[in-house]
Amino acid sequence: MKLVVQRVQHASVTIDGVETAGIGRGYLVLLGVGREDDEKTAEKFAEKVIKLRIFDDENDRINLNLAQVDGELLIVSQFTLYADTSSNRPGFTNAAPPEQANRIYEHFVEYCTQRVPVVKHGEFGADMKVELLNDGPFTILL
């Protein structure tokens, strides 16, 4: 599993010209599922995201997690995180097949939904337009 976690002031997903999901302060998570990933992998990474301490505390130290700032999550599937760029035309053979990837993605979303008050998500396999205001900017690769 590969994730890009961006601390945002706000983020949204638009499909076919309609905003389908949006959050305020929190994390935009781009999530790629690999062939070897399963539900346990999804839970491990979800816990990491939820507990990740990348918000400033009262002393301007990066020390607070999502729950401590009433943060929100926007999760977007992103198979292109598994791009093999050894040639000029990326290959995606390391990404999980769509059925497996969707199952793991949905499990990740559901797991987060049970632990974070506000969780929004994109639509698996859709042509999405993602808009965000990166806060910092602060971007973490997991």
pLDDT at residue 20, rounded to an integer = 97
Is 78 marked active-site?
A: yes
80-102 burial, b if ≥16 CB within 10 A, otherwise e?
ebbeeeeeeeeeeeebbeeeebe
Question: What confidence score (pLDDT) does residue 17 get?
Answer: 96
| From 9, 68, 80, 92, active-site residue | 80
Q: Choose, from 14, 79, 92, 114, the residue flagged as catalytic.
A: 79
Q: Are the C-beta atoms of residues 72 and 49 closer than 8 Å to each other?
A: no
pLDDT band at 27 (very low <50, low <70, confident <90, very high): very high
pLDDT band at 105 (very low <50, low <70, confident <90, very high): very high
Q: Domain 2-141, what fold?
A: D-tyrosyl-trna(Tyr) Deacylase; Chain: A; (3.50.80)
Domain chopping of the chain, boundaries: 2-141
Does 6 participate in catalysis according to the annotation?
no
Is 55 in the active site?
no
